[in-house]
Amino acid sequence: GINAEYGERHQGRFLCFFQLFVVSLHHSYQPILAAMTSSLNKLKIVKKRRKTFQRHYSDRLKRLDKGSWRCPKGIDSEVRRRYKGAELMPNVGYGSNAKTRHMRPNGLYTFRINNIKELELLLMHNRRYTAEIAHNISVRNRKLIVERAAQLNIKLTNAAGKLKTEEQQ
């Protein structure tokens, strides 16, 4: 009785899963190749707030920088006392999920490299980290790093940096 009803209700979902499983068995080489370059992260990155916190009164006084947050300390400050309609103050509740903190939108973490030897560290971690070439690396070394990264199947965030400007000149 109960099992038969459950089977009837969820039969479509089971068949769909079973069909995917059978297809993956027949074409087992395709998902493996696709997984080599994709991220291991399956979590959705949630940002609780994208706007930066503006310094109180920075919209009225030119000498105050908008982007540099300072905590208001006045005894009558409506922002410090958290009045309704006042500017919001940063607090711990705006923090990101610890599992997705510092993660790029593609699900990979960034690892800054200065030479090819540091690139070799990412050989086994190319699905968790992406490499970023440091800003002070010469064009000659950048070309070597880009070639080696392609061989090791490691993604580079700034692979085209400085190379385009050299070609234009």
pLDDT tens column, 71-111: 999 999 999 999 999 999 999 999 999 999 999 999 999 99
Position 164 scores a pLDDT of 73
Helix, strand, or coil (residue 78)? coil
Helix axes 11-26, 2-9, angle to 10 degrees: 60
What are phi and psi for residue 133, nearest 5 degrees? -75, 130
Q: What is the CA radius of gyration of the chain?
A: 25
Q: What pLDDT is stored for residue 163 in this prediction?
A: 78
Low-confidence ranges of the chain (pLDDT < 50): 6, 8, 10-36
Q: What is the pLDDT of residue 127?
A: 93
* 109-113/129-133 β-pairing: parallel
Ramachandran assignment for 54, one of left (phi > 0), alpha (psi -120 to 50 degrees), beta (any other): beta
- CA atoms of 45 and 43, how far apart (whole Å): 6
Both structure tokens of 68: 């540099």
